[in-house]
């Protein structure tokens, strides 16, 4: 799946999605089992036709490190991409704000996630 250029939140979507979106997200993730390894979930807000991407992690909490050795923590069992305009309390999440100037894709393996030019490796707590 390819995302359009723009500004996105990168990190644990459990911190920034609305309660309704979180319910849908976790319902889908639990169907496949949060501990069954990374899986992709692509959500769609019907009213604005915006996509987000999320991978269920093999551990409920931990840290992903990007290629610059910056740690990105998660503790809801997932990690992903959310359009910046969906973020209600934007100043709280500035360190997770990433601008993509070109279309980008997301992918994962058992031990890593790639989001556009960012490459993360998994290191459980």
- Summarised one tens digit per residue, pLDDT across range 81-123 is 888 887 877 778 888 899 999 999 888 777 788 899 999 887 6
Residue 57 has a pLDDT of 67
Residue 103 has a pLDDT of 92
How far is the C-alpha of 38 from the C-alpha of 113, rounded, in Å?
Answer: 9
**Phi and psi based region of residue 59 (left: phi greater than 0; alpha: psi -120 to 50; beta: remaining):** beta
- Summarised one tens digit per residue, pLDDT across range 28-83 is 666 655 444 445 555 555 444 446 677 766 666 778 888 888 888 887 777 888 88
Higher-pLDDT residue of 12, 48 = 12
Nearest CA to 76 among 7, 110, 116, 30?
Answer: 30
Residue 125 has a pLDDT of 44
How far is the C-alpha of 12 from the C-alpha of 66, rounded, in Å?
Answer: 14
Residue 119 has a pLDDT of 92
- Decide: residue 40, CB within 10 A, 0-12 exposed, 13-18 middle, 19+ buried: middle
């Amino acid at each position: 799946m390819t995302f359009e250029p723009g500004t996105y939140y990168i990190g644990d979507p459990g911190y920034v999605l609305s309660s309704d979106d979180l319910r849908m997200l976790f319902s889908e993730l639990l169907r496949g089992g949060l501990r069954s390894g990374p899986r992709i979930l692509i959500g769609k807000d019907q009213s604005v036709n915006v996509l987000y991407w999320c991978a269920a992690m093999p551990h409920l909490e931990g840290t992903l490190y990007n290629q610059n050795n910056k740690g990105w923590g998660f503790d809801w069992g997932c990690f992903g991409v959310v359009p910046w305009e969906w973020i209600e309390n934007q100043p709280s999440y500035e360190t997770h704000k990433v601008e993509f100037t070109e279309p980008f894709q997301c992918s994962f393996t058992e031990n890593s996630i790639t989001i556009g030019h960012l490459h993360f490796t998994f290191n459980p707590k």
